[in-house]
Amino acid sequence: MAIATPPTPAAEARVERLEVMWQSRPGVLGWLMTTDHKRIGLLYFWTTLVLFGAGGIEAMLMRTQLIKPNNDLVSPETYDQLFTLHGLTMIFFFIIPMTTGAFGNYLIPLMIGARDMAFPRMNALSYWIFLASAIFLYTSLALGMAPNAGWFDYVPLANKTFTPGHNIDFYALAVIFNSIASTLTAGQFIVTILKSRAPGMSFNRMPLFCFAFLAASFGLLFALPPLSADNIFLFLDRNVGTHFFDPSHGGAALLWQHLFWIFGHPEVYILIVPAFGIATSIIPAFTQRKLVAFPLVAIAELLVVFIGFGVWAHHMFATGMSTTALIFFAGATSMVVIPSTIQVFAWCMSFVLGVARFKTPLLFIAGFIFMFVTGGLTGIMFVAIPFDQQVTDTYFIIAHFHYIIFGAAVFPIFGGMYYWFPKVTGKLYFERPGQISFWLIFAGTNLLFFPMHLVGLLGMPRRVYTYPGNLGWTTYNVIETIGGYLTLVGILVLFGNLVWSYLRAPAAGPDPWHGPTLEWVTSSPPPEYDFAVIPKVSSAYPNWDVEDREEDRRKLASGVLLLDQGHEQVEVTPVDGWLSRTVEMPHESPWPVLLALCLSLVFVMLLLQHFAIAGLMGILSLLTLLGWHSKEPQEA
């Protein structure tokens, strides 16, 4: 049902009411106070793109430094900060906020037929905390003291003795700060997906996108606390003199690694599972067929995160743990492969059994499948412990995880940008340059990452700022650097195309792809209130259910489930999706950005070791929280 063409005068009047009620304040103030999930999604989108650029520059500087042996483009200090920031930025400040913050925020309410997230102000808070944590981290770079012990920051290198400067304090505090934003987002998605679905959308009728984001959200919820605990210990060891990691006083260096990887392994599934959600949205649209083995894929998406909590020590195979422990973790790692292989074949068979239209979004998904399988196969090789012990900490592992992360997370992100571009902007992107951008990026990333397998086997360790010229590594490094530049060109073409399309492309209409899910029901872009009528849902592909969409049009005319008495939204029962109650939603609010500001001050004071003032800022934050909860929805 396209709001653009309401059928009767009565319906038009109702839509007019909704438009007025849900209007945003104009200007900058409107953006600062927004709680609209679409605006928050867009804020995340642009912010993460800037950070993607930063991470990309870090990568290009490293690749350029490595183009020849004994190069001196950058000093070892700078190089160490570059590779640390590159990892931190791409993981915490690009992929997670882009998939969850941008795609998740914008699309989840639309896909479940809701008007907004369950806690709109907390959603805004997530964004402002995320932004603050990014600024906090990059301030360290501006001051020349960016973290420099790698994104997993092993102790004792990261403790005060060996890295006395503030670099690691920036690391610990930025990671804790950032994890607050992600935890809030995870909780938000879980509650929204469970409670805010349109009536009739029982659990098994949820789009696979929602299964994926639910899985990733549970992952974040349970994986982030161990990371925070680790960084609390690190901060205390460095600033208060505790001995968590100091063997001379009863501590243990491996304690850091265990807690880190208990977070770190689920994290890598959290990185790719939302991207799986994007892929399983694009495939049905461009094959015009429901996804093969839908129930298996839904379960697999949840299982891969769940099993992923039990495999962490496979990142520690070379640390000298007992053979029994090693074998346990190798066994658990074997199990986590199965949900992934299930999904790979389900995706491929959906391509084969539908009518595949290889437009740009589907090209990126085909590329994603190729890259993910390649990276996954080398991942399976690590089940063999002796082989892992030979190639871990070399360029072989860098190849593995970049095939996975770039291939299985970034390719779907790019595909998703093209797929939902018409929905968000109302314009249809230009197809030809889109395809060119895909092929450039595909060629570039393979040229960049494939040789890394070989040079790693030839003995090149990771995290080296330079290398000798007589070990046969030079040619591979040259090829990789060329691949990097080719990828850069492809990415520039991609964004250039999107910008040009925004400026010049023809209008897209509400549903250019005949997509399967509810976001294609609304106008492009959607109105502030998303849906005039909360949609009727009878299957997991609601936009293909023609009778239900007709019924929505009739409801608009008669006013049923219009919810126009305020900023209203439905709550349903979590499993079956029965209507439970109607709730009043908060609209715009200054409190989220104010609270984020107070929390920033807490972290800045902790960094400067002004602990008492940090405590005061904490109290200020609590007072802000008090203000936040001063007006109740019925009083608004």
Partner 1 sequence: MALVPLSLLAAGCGKKQNALAPASHQSQDIATLFWWMTGVAAVGLGVVVALLLLAWIRSGRRGAGGDTQGAKPGERVGWYVVLTGGVLVPILLISALFVIGDVFVIRTTEAPAAGSTKRTILVIGHQWWWEVRYPGTSAVTANEIHIPARTPVRLEVRTADVIHSFWVPELNRKIDTLPGSTNEIELYADAVGRYRGDCAEFCGLQHAHMGIWVYADPPAKFAKWLARQSRPAAPPTGAQASAGRAAFLSGACANCHQIRGTSASSGVGPDLTHVADRETLGALTIPNTPSYLHDWIRNSQRFKPGNQMPSFNGLPEREIRDLVAYLEERK
Partner 2 sequence: MSGYIASSVERPSKPAAWWGMVILISSEATLFGAFIGTYFYLRFRAPTWPPDGIPEPRVVVPLILVGVLLLSSIPMQLASNAARAGRLAATRLFVVAALVLQAGYFAYEVHDFSDQLKTFDISRDAYSSIYYVLLGADHAHVALGILFNLWLLAKLVRGLTTYRVHATQAIAWYWHAVNLLTLVVILTLLSAAIG
Provide the binding-site residues for partner 2, judged by CB under 8 A: 118-119, 183, 186-187, 190-191, 194-196, 198-200, 202, 205, 221-222, 224-226, 228-230, 232-233, 236-237, 240-244, 246, 249-252, 255, 258-259, 262, 536-538, 560, 571-574, 576-581, 583, 622, 626, 629, 632-634
Side-chain half-sphere CA neighbours of 594 within 13 A: 14
Select from 227, 232, 270 the least CA-distant residue to 97.
Answer: 270
Least Cβ distance, residue 563 to partner 2 (angstroms):
11
CA–CA dist 341, 303 (Å, integer): 12
CA–CA dist 269, 99 (Å, integer): 12
Distance linking the first and last C-alpha atoms of the chain: 31
Residues 312, 531, 541, 591: which binds partner 1 (CB under 8 A)?
541
CA–CA dist 196, 342 (Å, integer): 30
Token code pair at residue 427: 């314009």
Q: Which amino acid is at 95?
A: I
Asked if 229 is part of the footprint of partner 1 (rule: CB under 8 A), the reply reads no
User: Containing H/E element for 216?
Assistant: helix 208-239
Asked if 330 is part of the footprint of partner 1 (rule: CB under 8 A), the reply reads yes
Q: Which does 541 bind (CB under 5 to 8 A by kind): partner 1, partner 2, none?
A: partner 1
Q: What residue has token string 């653009």? A: 4
Q: Which does 244 bind (CB under 5 to 8 A by kind): partner 2, partner 1, none?
A: partner 2
Q: Which does 544 bind (CB under 5 to 8 A by kind): partner 2, partner 1, none?
A: partner 1
Asked if 320 is part of the footprint of partner 1 (rule: CB under 8 A), the reply reads yes
- The dihedral of CA 479, 480, 482, 487: what is its sign? positive
Query: Which residue, 150 or 433, has its beta carbon nearer to partner 1?
Result: 150
Do residues 313 and 261 make contact, with C-beta atoms less than 8 angstroms apart?
yes
Asked if 458 is part of the footprint of partner 1 (rule: CB under 8 A), the reply reads yes
Q: Which does 597 bind (CB under 5 to 8 A by kind): partner 2, partner 1, none?
A: none
Select from 136, 118, 133, 232 the least CA-distant residue to 185.
Answer: 118
Least Cβ distance, residue 186 to partner 2 (angstroms):
8
Q: How is residue 544 annotated by DSSP?
A: G
Q: Which does 165 bind (CB under 5 to 8 A by kind): partner 1, partner 2, none?
A: none
Query: Which residue, 415 or 577, has its beta carbon nearer to partner 2?
Result: 577
Asked if 315 is part of the footprint of partner 1 (rule: CB under 8 A), the reply reads no
Per CB under 8 A, which of residues 460..519 are in contact with partner 1? 460-468, 470-472, 476, 516
Note the Cα 13 to chain centre separation in Å: 39
Q: Which does 229 bind (CB under 5 to 8 A by kind): partner 2, partner 1, none?
A: partner 2
Is 474 exposed, middle or buried (CB count within 10 Å of its CB: 0-12, 13-18, 19+)? middle
CA angle 230, 235, 237 (to 5 degrees): 95
Q: Which amino acid is at 273?
A: V
| Among 132-140, 165-173, 385-393, 579-587, the segment contacting partner 1 (CB under 8 A) | 385-393
By three-state DSSP, how is residue 564 classified? Answer: coil
Query: Which residue, 590 or 618, has its beta carbon nearer to partner 2?
Result: 618
Q: Which does 450 bind (CB under 5 to 8 A by kind): partner 1, partner 2, none?
A: partner 1
| Among 215-223, 246-254, 489-497, 574-582, the segment contacting partner 1 (CB under 8 A) | 246-254
